[in-house]
Amino acid sequence: MAEPVEIDRAAVRRARHGEPLPLLVLLHGYGSDERDLFSLVPFLPEGVAVASLPAPHDAPWPMPGRSWYPIDELERRDPASVTAAADAVLRWLDEEAGAVPSIALLGFSQGASVALQVARQDPDRIAAVVNLSGYAAPGELPGDAALRERRTPVFWGRGTRDDVIPPALVDHTAQWLPDHSELTGRVYPGLTHSVSEDELADVRRFLEGWLAEVQASSSRESAEG
C-alpha cells in the first residue's frame, strides 16, 4: 500500500474563490505545478470557481516541477500510488469544498489519471471529469460498480502523435471508459502530448454541459421544495 500523501493547501491557486459556484479542480501533469493549468482559466466557462492543486511529490532531479506519483519506468504505473494521490485530493475536498453545489475535475496526463481515480474512489462526489492525455489505472476499485451505474460524464481527449502514454494503457482506457462512464471522446490528428485550441473548445463545451445540468438540478430541487 502506498504511503498517504497530502496537498500543500498554501500553494493552491484559485479563481472566483468564495463564491457559491460549482467547483472545477485542476490537476496538472508530471514535471509541472499548480501554475500550469491555472493558465487555462480564460478558456473555461464563466460561472465556475477554479482551484488548481499542486501534486504532493517533487519530480525526481533533474526534472522540474512536481509529480502525483512516481514513474519508475514508462511501461509501469503503480495503481496504488495513483490511488494514494486520489485520496489526497479527496481529503483536500473534505476540508476545502464541502459547501459547493457540484464538483468537476480536469486533469492533464498524470493529473488526468488521478482525476479518474478520484471519481472511482468517490463516485457520488464527482459530477464530471475531463481527461486530457491521461489514462484509467488498471485494476479494480470498490467504487467501480457504482461509477458504472452512475455513468459520470467524462471527456477524454488525446493526440494521434502522443507517444508518452504507453499503447497498452491507451487501449485499456479505450475499453474501460465506455463501460464505466458517459464518454465524450475525441482524438486530435497531429497532436502530441499537449493540449490544442480545438481541444480547449471541446472542453469548454463539455463543461458548459456540466454547468447546465447543475442549473437544471437546482431548478428541479427548488420546484420540489
Is the pTM higher than 0.85? The answer reads yes
Q: How far is CA 41 from CA 30, 95, 212, in A?
A: 20, 23, 19
Q: What is the mean pLDDT of residues 120-139?
A: 96
Q: What is the mean pLDDT of residues 54-67?
A: 87
Q: Is the pLDDT of residue 222 over 90?
A: no
Share of the chain above pLDDT 70, in %: 94
> What are the residues facing 154 on neighbouring strands?
129, 183
Supply the pLDDT for residue 193. Answer: 97
**50 CB neighbour count, 10 Å cutoff:** 20
Q: What is the mean pLDDT of residues 75-84?
A: 76
Q: What is the DSSP letter of 32?
A: B
